Amino acid sequence: MDKHRSADVVITGAGPAGLTAALYCGRAGLVTVIVERVGPGGQAATTAHIENYPGFPGGVMGPELAQRMEEQVRAFGAETVLADVQRVESGDGFDVHTSEGTLSARALIVASGARERPLGVPGEAEFRGRGVSYCATCDGAFYRNRHVVVVGGGDSAVEEALFLTRFASKVTLVHRRDSLRAAKALQDRAFASAKMAFVCNSMVTTVLGREKVEAVGLRNLKTGQEMEYAADGVFVYIGQVPNSEFIRHLVNTDAAGYILTGEDMSTSLPGVFAAGDVRAKYLRQVATAVGDGAVAGVAVERYLAGHP
Ligand code: NAP
């Protein structure tokens, strides 16, 4: 990338929200640059099977959906730059400082999503990549005929636990309460799976092993009882942290760092819009991210028309 270049709109993040915003901005004839750290699709690209995105009656593989979205965006002229967004400065427009140089833009759409929340227990960081994972789609196949533990009780934990039953001989879901938060349809499938086991009212307190993960330490939160539980892998799905650090000094967020927006995806700073999982919202799914992206794209077009 040139060290300093300009666009009408810079979109941070190429997940479903960012790609949809880019589609709308590109179609509107705006010079649109997406800055993405890893590759298109965001978390959807690391989701094995998406069942609740309309138009795919048998479901769709996350990477395939991401690739289709990206192809469509490219056809409308938006450009993608692979870089890490480090900080945004506001002045006469916006300067987006990235690992690969600075982009100037007249408007900004923050669609940087959210990342996995770590457990924060001893052994977790040490065994990351050696048995501790946050991506069943990426690492599940390494656990053929092995026993894995999945931590969490939300949609992600249950969905990815079910995916892991394709490979693992046994998948134990460890959840801190006695009822799951996940959608009922997912729960029903999990309870019906012969490969799934459930450890409720329990926390993983440590990850243990020599070269690789061999066990987790568990604490029963009702009885206080501690035990070692043998496992070959640990998949952590205990929620998310918003990727908003680079813009938090400019826009209002909630206490957790999710960006507050109006109905038109505008933030507290004129010219900055937010879409998808990074914003404070009721439901974080591909379907809602796509809706946010469409609104943000149109809102930017209207904003720029009013600020020539
Ligand atoms: P989530 O819904 O926030 O669930 C996080 C789970 O982790 C909860 O069960 C929570 O327990 C548990 N947890 C949180 N902190 C913990 C800790 N320190 N130790 C142990 N357990 C902890 O997060 P998510 O499952 O990643 O989902 C994020 C969003 O994406 C949600 O809006 C979800 O609906 C959406 N999503 C949807 C789909 C789908 O529709 N198919 C798939 C994936 C994700 P408690 O229940 O006790 O709070």
Catalytic-residue membership of 138 = yes
Please tell me whether residue 174 adopts helix, strand or coil conformation: strand
Ligand 1: distance of its center to the CA of 238 in Å? 5
Q: Which of 8, 139, 155, 232 is catalytic?
A: 139
d(CA 199, CA 93): 52
Beta-ladder partners of 178: none
The atom number, within ligand 1, closest to the CA of 240 reads 26
- Residue 2 is predicted with a pLDDT of 57
The length of the chain is 308
User: Chain centroid to CA 83: how far?
Assistant: 17
Residues 299, 307 contacting (CB under 8 angstroms): no
d(CA 253, CA 267): 9
Q: Which residues line ligand 1 (CB under 6 A)?
A: 52, 151-157, 159, 176-177, 181, 203, 237-240, 283-285
| Joined tokens for residue 196 | 């799934």
pLDDT in tens, the chain (308 residues): 655 789 999 999 999 999 999 999 999 999 999 999 998 998 888 887 888 899 999 999 999 999 999 999 999 999 999 999 999 999 999 999 999 999 999 999 999 999 999 999 999 999 998 999 998 988 899 999 999 999 999 999 999 999 999 999 999 999 999 999 999 999 999 999 999 999 999 999 999 999 999 999 999 999 999 999 999 999 999 999 999 999 999 999 999 999 999 999 999 999 999 999 999 999 999 999 999 999 999 999 999 999 87
- Residue 48 is predicted with a pLDDT of 75
Nearest to 177 by CA among 158, 200, 193, 198: 200
Query: Ligand 1: which residue has its CA nearest to atom 28?
Result: 239
Task: Name the residue of 60, 151, 155, 184 whose CB sits within 8 Å of the most ligand 1 atoms, as the mutation to test its pocket.
Answer: 155
Strand intervals (E) in the chain: 4-12, 32-36, 49-50, 60-61, 79-82, 85-91, 93-98, 101-110, 114-116, 132-133, 147-151, 170-174, 196-199, 202-209, 213-220, 226-230, 233-236, 240-242, 272-274
- Residue 3 is predicted with a pLDDT of 55
Residues 148, 171 contacting (CB under 8 angstroms): yes
Ligand 1: distance of its center to the CA of 178 in Å? 14
